[in-house]
Amino acid sequence: MLKGWRSTAIVTAITLVTFIVVPKLYDNQFLLFNMMMYMALAQGLNIIYGYTGYLPFGYVGFFGAGAYAGALVIIFLHWMPLIAVLVGGLTAVLFGMVLIPLFRLSGAYFSIASLAASEALYYVVANPHLEKITQGPYGISMPQAYDANAAYWTMLGILALSLVTSGIIRRSRFGLALSAIRENPLSASMSGVNVVQMRSLSWLLSAFIAGLAGATFGWYISVFYPETVFSLTIGVFTIVFILFGGIGTLIGPIIGTLILYGLYNYIGISTPQYFQIAYGLLIVLLVLFLPNGLVSLLKRRGVDVP
Amino acid sequence: MSPDAPILEVGNLEKSFGGLKALNGVSFDLHPGEILGLAGPNGSGKTTCINAITGVFRIDGGSIRFAGEDIHHRATYRRVRKGINRTFQVPRPFPGLTVHENVLVAAHYGSGEHADAMTLLEDTGLAEFADKPARTLNSSQQKMLGLARALATKPRLLLVDEIGAGLNPEELSAMAQRLRGYANQGMALLVVEHLMDFLDQVTDRLVVMDAGNTLFTGKLAQATEDPRVIEAFLGG
C-alpha cells in the first residue's frame, strides 16, 4: 500500500492529458465536462466509501449544496465564479460537519440517513417561501456568469485535485488507517487510530470535492432547478460507476465512469428503454461475477492495481 | 510515580448491561514487570474487565488509574497511545489488509516511537506471511498477529485474553515463556485464562472473579484450595 506512487502519477497524468487533448478532436464539450464531473465525484465518493466502507446514498446533497452556495454568492455578492466554486466546496464541508453524528449509525442505516439529509436540504432549497433567497422551485438563473470554457478547465482542476487526493490517501498512512477502520473499527482503535477524527476527515474531504463539482456544474449550465442538482440520478450514477470499476482504487472509478457514462450517452439518451435493460443486465452480471468491480480481474492476476 | 508504584490500579469497577451487573466492585492492582492471572467461570466478567480497562465501553462506577493517572474518561486510542493494549479472545484482524499492514497500522499510530513491524512479525513467526491477506491465516496465527499488533504499540500494560485456548501443551509452554519474557523486560501483564496449568506457568498471583465480583486475590496455590473458588468453578 505504501508503494506504487509511480503508477498513481501515471494514471492521474493520462486522465488529465486526455481531457486536455480530446476537446480539440471532439466537440461535445458538455459530455466531456460531465464525464470529468462524474470522475471527480466518483473519486470523492471513493474517499469515504472505498476507504472507510461508509456508503452515503445522499452524496448528491453535497453536490447540490455546492451548486446553490456557488450560485448564490455569484448572484447576490457578485463574486468571481472561481471564488464561488470554493465557497461551494466549503459549504458542502459545513453540511458534512452537521451530518457527522450520522456516523453513529452503521451500514444501511447510515446510507438511508444520508439520503434523508440530502432530500431535506433539497426541500429547504426548493421551498417557495425561500424564493427571495434560493429562488425556490423556480430555479437559479445566472447568465451573467456563463463561461463554459472557464468552467470546463475548472472542472479539470477539480478532477486533478480529486485524483491527487485519492491517490495520496491510498498510498499514505492516513489511507492505511482508513482501511483499518473499514476492516474493523474496534481493532483500529486498539491500534491507536483516532477513528472518529479520521473518518470525519475523510467525510469532509469527500464532501469538499462534491461541493466544488456541484458549484462548477452550476456555473457551467448557469440555469438550473433544485431537482437538477439534487437529482438522485447523480448520486446513483456515481455509486454504480465506482462499484463497476472497483472501489478503493484510483483507476476503478475512472474506468467505471468511462464505460458506463459512455454507454449512457451512446444509447441512454436516444433509446432509454434499451439503456435501462443494458444497465440492469450489467449490474446483475457485476454483482454475480465481479462484486469487486472490473479491476478485480487484474487483482486476481496479481497486478498491483493503482 | 515511584518505581515500585503500581502501573494499573483498578478500584470498585462497576458495569451493568440492562439488568445484568457484569462488574460489581472489582478491584486489583498490577506492577511493572508483574504478571497477574485473572480467572473465573464463563460469564464472570473477565473480558468485561479488559473491555473496561481498554475503554471499549465506559464504566458505571469505580476508578481505573494507569501510571498514576485516572484514565476512565479517555478514548480507547488515547489509552493505547499511553501504553495499554490487549489481545482478543476471538482474533480481530483487519482481514483484507496484509499481515504486514495489520502490524504497520499499530506501529504508525500506536505510540510516539515507531516499532519495526517486520521485526515483530519475525518474532511472532509470521514473517513468511507478511504479504498475504490476514484472512488467509489460521486462527492460532491470527492470535499471534493480534499479539504482534498489540506489541507494535509498545505497551507498558498488556491484557491477554485467553491466548492459550486451542494451543497444544508445547505451544502453551512456548507462549508462557514468551509472556514471562515480556514481563522480564518490565511490561505488566494481565492474563485472562481458563487453563490453570497455563496460569501456573506464567504467574503465582491470581485474581478469581465470579458473577462480576472479586472472589479471591492471592497465591495460585491457595486459590485451588479455597472452597469459594472451587464452588465457583465446579458449581458446588
User: Region A263-272: what's the mean pLDDT?
Assistant: 82
Letter for the amino acid at A167? Answer: G
| Domains identified in chain B, total number | 2
pLDDT confidence of residue A274: 83
Contact B96 A183 (CB under 8 A): yes
Contact B85 A190 (CB under 8 A): yes
Q: Is the CB of residue A86 less than 8 Å from the CB of residue A212?
A: yes
Please tell me if residue B40 touches chain A, with a CB cutoff of 8 Å. no
User: Region A274-295: what's the mean pLDDT?
Assistant: 84
User: Region A32-46: what's the mean pLDDT?
Assistant: 97
Three-state DSSP class for B98? Answer: strand
Three-state DSSP class for B216? Answer: strand
B58 and B175 share one domain: yes
pLDDT confidence of residue A284: 85
Residue B3 has pLDDT above 80, yes or no: no
Q: For residue A179, is it within any domain?
A: yes
Contact A189 B76 (CB under 8 A): yes
Q: Among A64-78, A260-274, B75-89, B117-131, which is the least confidently predicted range?
A: A260-274
User: Region B180-188: what's the mean pLDDT?
Assistant: 96
Q: Among A38-42, B112-116, B148-152, B163-167, which is the least confidently predicted range?
A: B112-116
Q: Is the CB of residue A282 less than 8 Å from the CB of residue A244?
A: yes
pTM of the entire predicted model: 0.90
**Domain containing B98: what range?**
91-154
Confidence of residue B220 (pLDDT cuts 50, 70, 90): confident
**Domain containing A185: what range?**
12-232
Q: For residue A238, is it within any domain?
A: no
Please tell me if residue A189 touches chain B, with a CB cutoff of 8 Å. yes
Residue A221 has pLDDT above 90, yes or no: yes
Please tell me if residue A172 touches chain B, with a CB cutoff of 8 Å. no
How many CB contacts within 8 angstroms connect chain A with chain B? 78
Q: For residue A300, is it within any domain?
A: no
User: Region B117-121: what's the mean pLDDT?
Assistant: 94
Grid coordinates in use for A69? 452556495
What CATH number has the domain bearing residue B66? 3.40.50.300
B76 and B109 share one domain: no
Contact B92 A180 (CB under 8 A): no
Q: Which residues of B touch A177 (CB under 8 A)?
A: 105, 108-109
Burial A214-227 (b: 16+ CB within 10 A, else e): bbbbbbbbbebbbe
User: Region A142-146: what's the mean pLDDT?
Assistant: 93
How much is the mean pLDDT over chain B? 92
Q: Which residues of A touch B88 (CB under 8 A)?
A: 187
A 10 A CB-CB count for A44 gives: 31
Please tell me if residue A195 touches chain B, with a CB cutoff of 8 Å. yes
User: For chain A, what percent of residues have pLDDT higher than 90?
Assistant: 78
* Among candidate residues B68, B49, B63, the one with its CA nearest the CA of residue B6: B68
How much is the mean pLDDT over chain A? 93
By Cβ distance, the residue of A1, A182, A190 closest to B101 is A1
B64 and B177 share one domain: yes
pLDDT confidence of residue A263: 87
Q: Quote the CA–CA distance of B155 and B7 in Å, as a whole number.
A: 12
Residue A210 has pLDDT above 50, yes or no: yes
Q: Quote the CA–CA distance of B42 and B139 in Å, as a whole number.
A: 21
Q: For residue A241, is it within any domain?
A: no
Confidence of residue A286 (pLDDT cuts 50, 70, 90): confident
| Domains identified in chain A, total number | 1
Read off φ and ψ for residue B9, nearest 5 degrees.
-125, 115
pLDDT confidence of residue B56: 94
pLDDT confidence of residue B1: 53
B79 and B131 share one domain: no
How are beta strands B157-161 and B188-192 bridged, if at all? Answer: parallel
CA distance B16 to chain A (A): 21
B6 and B66 share one domain: yes
Q: Is the CB of residue B134 less than 8 Å from the CB of residue B95?
A: yes
* Cell numbers 498512512: residue: A173
Q: For residue A254, is it within any domain?
A: no
Residue A304 has pLDDT above 80, yes or no: no
Three-state DSSP class for B84? Answer: strand
pLDDT confidence of residue B236: 47
The 8-class DSSP code of residue A49 comes to: I
Q: For residue A260, is it within any domain?
A: no
Out of B139, B154, B169, a domain closes at: B154
By Cβ distance, the residue of B88, B96, B109 closest to A191 is B109
CA distance A208 to chain B (A): 26
Residue A278 has pLDDT above 90, yes or no: no
Q: For residue A170, is it within any domain?
A: yes
The string of DSSP codes covering A136-152 is GGG-EE-GGG--HHHHH
Tens digits of residue pLDDT in B28-79:
999 999 999 999 888 899 999 999 999 999 999 999 999 999 999 999 999 9
| Number of residues in chain A | 306
B45 and B12 share one domain: yes
Q: Quote the CA–CA distance of A68 and A84 in Å, as a whole number.
A: 10
Out of B154, B176, B208, a domain closes at: B154
pLDDT confidence of residue A303: 77
B163 and B76 share one domain: yes
Q: Quote the CA–CA distance of B77 and B91 in Å, as a whole number.
A: 18
Contact A195 B149 (CB under 8 A): no
Confidence of residue B235 (pLDDT cuts 50, 70, 90): low
For A:104-143, CB contacts with B below 8 A are none
CA distance A190 to chain B (A): 6
pLDDT confidence of residue A3: 53
B109 and B162 share one domain: no
Out of B106, B131, B154, a domain closes at: B154
Please tell me if residue A173 touches chain B, with a CB cutoff of 8 Å. yes
* Among candidate residues B148, B98, B75, B150, the one with its CA nearest the CA of residue A198: B75
Residue A231 has pLDDT above 80, yes or no: yes
Please tell me if residue A305 touches chain B, with a CB cutoff of 8 Å. no
Please tell me if residue B110 touches chain A, with a CB cutoff of 8 Å. yes
Instruction: Compare B164 and A213 and report the one with higher pLDDT.
Output: A213
pLDDT confidence of residue A1: 44
Q: For residue A40, is it within any domain?
A: yes
Q: Quote the CA–CA distance of A290 and A292 in Å, as a whole number.
A: 5
Q: Among A177-191, A238-252, B145-159, which is the least confidently predicted range?
A: A238-252
B160 and B230 share one domain: yes
* Among candidate residues A4, A14, A50, A72, the one with its CA nearest the CA of residue A209: A50
B52 and B143 share one domain: no
Nearest chain B residue to A191, by CA:
B106
**Residue B158, strand partner residues:** B85, B189
B61 and B71 share one domain: yes
B150 and B176 share one domain: no
Residue A7 has pLDDT above 90, yes or no: no
